[in-house]
Amino acid sequence: MAKAPRSNHRQTPGAPATRTAVTGAFSEIADAETTPDSAPGGTLYLVATPIGNLEDITLRALRILREADLIAAEDTRVTRKLLAHFDIHTPLTSYHAHTAGGKSEALVEKLQAGQNIALVSDAGTPAISDPGAELVAEAVAGGVRVEPVPGPSALVAALVASGLPTGRFVFEGFLPRTKADRRERLLMASREARTTLFYEAPTRVRETLGDLAKVCGPERRVVAAREITKKFEEFAHGTLAEVGAHFGAHEPRGEFVLVLDGASGSELLASQPDDTPTTEALLREAMARGQSARDAARDISRQTREPRNEVYALAMRIRGEVAGS
Ligand code: SAM
């Protein structure tokens, strides 16, 4: 018989309310009865915080931050300012990308011991291009109850105000730094029918708009959403050529989300005959046949005319993945 999916929800509808996760006017009252495989313990709250305008914090976020036993923050200095603004005095601990490994385990132990912990990042929703996914995975694996406390996220704010289709979209996060990976990802985006969103640093906006124009063509529509919810909020709409020219003339400042229109039917058709295998696919095939990373990179860089060092870097990454799997 198929095993029932594990639930970490402890509430039994209709049963007398005896235990409160974190109290408050709108809180769900959890029941003392537990499902057989969920240990009684604390809750991990993923609390979204403003991406600029402090009025965007939710009432529930404020209550959870006030009532939690501990707040785990990406940068305690940033979160301390937010807490000071709202007169919240909950103890803080740091949880950032570099310490995530060992720290997750320690936090899960605290949760299992009954503490309620709120995870926040510097801005927006934790675990979206921010630390958190690993902690959530470990908490779930450890039978800990995890609750989202939804609120701002730059990607949703940019998408909904962009004027581009919102029905289906792809979130790419930040583009990779290495040239070969970046090129691969841009190429994939150019062949994507859904709206695609990128996070981008102001120092790279011009380059990325230029690269997108090269792979998608200068006429593809794009919206550069800048400083959302802040004083200098701007939504620059136009074709890749137009928005690229705008930021050629005005230095890109602040935080950016790029929202790229999906490829049209005719663009998709035009890209279809090109069924040339990607460099990555060629490398994987060659290495699966037993060729060394060095030899495969040499042969394939000759074939594709890509710089050998870039192809070699990609080969090494594939070798690392295979060794690690
Ligand atoms: N977790 C956050 C979220 O939910 O949006 C994202 C964190 S990620 C480290 C930071 C990136 O998000 C920035 O580099 C920028 O691309 C985007 N971003 C954050 N706040 C923004 C804002 N107010 N306006 C535009 N983009 C923003």
Dump pLDDT digits (tens) for 78-132: 999 999 999 999 999 999 877 766 899 999 999 999 999 999 999 999 999 999 9
Mean pLDDT of 202-212: 97
Residues 314 and 227 in one domain: no
Q: Would 109 be classed as within a structural domain?
A: yes
Q: Residue 12, SS3?
A: coil
User: What's the rounded Cα separation, in Å, for the pair 221 and 259?
Assistant: 9
- Which amino acid, 46? L
Place of tokens 């996914």: 133
Residues 140 and 77 in one domain: yes
Q: What are the start-end ranges of the E strands in the chain?
A: 19-20, 29-30, 43-47, 70-73, 92-94, 117-120, 145-149, 169-174, 195-200, 221-226, 234-239, 256-260
Residues 306 and 187 in one domain: no
Ligand 1 atom closest to the CA of 48, numbered from 1: 4
Given 247, 271, 295, the domain boundary residue is 271
Residues 91 and 211 in one domain: no
Residues 170 and 196 in one domain: yes
User: What's the rounded Cα separation, in Å, for the pair 128 and 74?
Assistant: 12
Ligand 1 atom closest to the CA of 121, numbered from 1: 1
Q: Would 195 be classed as within a structural domain?
A: yes
User: What's the rounded Cα separation, in Å, for the pair 150 and 46?
Assistant: 8
Given 88, 118, 152, the domain boundary residue is 152
Ligand 1 atom closest to the CA of 128, numbered from 1: 1
**Partners of 93 in beta bridges:** 72
Q: Would 5 be classed as within a structural domain?
A: no
Q: Which of 56, 175, 255 to mutate to test the pocket of ligand 1 (most atoms within 8 A of CB)?
A: 255
Q: Rounded to the nearest whole angstrom, what is the distance from the C-alpha of residue 23 to the centroid of ligand 1?
A: 31
Q: Would 14 be classed as within a structural domain?
A: no
- The pLDDT of residue 275: 63
Q: Rounded to the nearest whole angstrom, what is the distance from the C-alpha of residue 295 to the centroid of ligand 1?
A: 41
The CATH number given to whatever domain includes residue 188 is: 3.30.950.10
Residues 137 and 159 in one domain: no
Q: Would 171 be classed as within a structural domain?
A: yes
Assign 264 a pLDDT band (cuts: 50, 70, 90): confident
Ligand 1 atom closest to the CA of 152, numbered from 1: 4
Given 119, 137, 152, the domain boundary residue is 152
Region of residue 254 (phi > 0: left; psi between -120 and 50: alpha; otherwise: beta): left
Task: Give the residue with greater pLDDT, 12 vs 183.
Answer: 183
Q: Would 41 be classed as within a structural domain?
A: yes
Dump pLDDT digits (tens) for 129-183: 999 999 999 999 999 999 999 999 999 999 999 999 999 999 999 999 998 999 9
Q: Would 254 be classed as within a structural domain?
A: yes
Q: Rounded to the nearest whole angstrom, what is the distance from the C-alpha of residue 108 to the centroid of ligand 1?
A: 27
Ligand 1 contacts (CB < 6 A) are 51-52, 121, 123-125, 128-130, 153-155, 199-201, 225, 227-230, 255-257
Domain range enclosing 176: 155-271
- The pLDDT of residue 320: 86
User: What's the rounded Cα separation, in Å, for the pair 176 and 197?
Assistant: 14
Residues 303 and 215 in one domain: no
Residues 52 and 129 in one domain: yes
Residues 136 and 162 in one domain: no
Residues 174 and 264 in one domain: yes
Q: Rounded to the nearest whole angstrom, what is the distance from the C-alpha of residue 259 to the centroid of ligand 1?
A: 13
Q: Rounded to the nearest whole angstrom, what is the distance from the C-alpha of residue 233 to the centroid of ligand 1?
A: 13
Task: Give the residue with greater pLDDT, 201 vs 23.
Answer: 201
Residues 123 and 164 in one domain: no
Q: Would 4 be classed as within a structural domain?
A: no
Mean pLDDT of 62-68: 98
Q: Which of 172, 257, 258, 259 to mutate to test the pocket of ligand 1 (most atoms within 8 A of CB)?
A: 257
The CATH number given to whatever domain includes residue 24 is: 3.40.1010.10
Domain count of the fold of the chain? 3
Ligand 1 atom closest to the CA of 125, numbered from 1: 4
Residues 93 and 171 in one domain: no
